[in-house]
Structure 1
């Protein structure tokens, strides 16, 4: 589904590369975890795959489509759930979703049905006509997710989809994502919640300093790392315990 070949990225004015000759293949219907410390290059890679920024060198394709040749078609096949809320606070949940749906040429009864079904599935239908600025963090996260899947993307990118939410919202979000995956959606997921990644992802890659360090099934990585009892142990063994603060 996703083929990444020798992707590198150096931002203007930067002394080093944020990504360096990274190769990675992600299969159709995977739940793929992209893990790494702060500044490892995760967000840069996702931004490139979502066609938000251009790589310095290298190529990638999604479902056989490339940014250079198939930009418009490619964008219709992906959904993006950013870490920050991408919603208009003064509009209601329904108004937000109607607006985002219209950007994908969804209109009328079809769009209304998709919105109501998703709101109902995620426990938000009774709040459809409430303004977003009255919502809790978990409710906003769920609306953010719905906005990204109304057009039924083949690939869904998730950047910290459960950060700062209550346990109930987290559970609902993860279960909904599993259902989307079962229906055929390939999921690319980044998170610092390694216990969540261990149970949620079918395969993970750990990147650091812009390079791919290791990839595989969580249980295999744990088994192959001496003394590791969970994915967090593997992560710390590979990336170290030093703080990764940056500005």
Structure 2
């Protein structure tokens, strides 16, 4: 059912019904493991979903502030869960975290480009964030509240802090090529991964893990740009 919704709604392109943006964001959160796997995959063969469809739907969701926040909040939780249940010393959850952040960052940029001259959309995106607006959906998000969510509050708080700063600076709708708007979240994710992997933490500096996740995020940006919302 979810894959059918993804297929049909992605085909709508920029005619994606605005009323379905938040419901689809909730649905993607409920299938966060698959979305995370798709967004962080290197090719169609290792992705459980059509990556082009995931990108297109994420792009359309990102045209609405609340829907975007709902999706990002749930994916933060999936990323943290992936790190928490990973094997000691396994770098894959760290790298997947970066790729997914980068992939969805590019989806956001592509989505906001669609409405670049839309005054109503611009006004919506320049409004102050209200975390509690989408907080109610968390009861439907897998893993919410269980032990595997250790550390998610710190990651989500940093993400929200950076989103608010981007809005306050008038850059809510801009593509910041340097990725400075995501640096805090990536750093927190890297530190959380180190905390969950104490053996790694003993033998290398925090700089190393931050470098890995930042490189992965850049690769996620590039993967989404290549897909361009078309194909898998």
TM-score (norm 2): 0.25
Q: Kindly indicate which of the two structures has a greater share of residues assigned to helix.
A: 2
Greater radius of gyration (CA)? 1
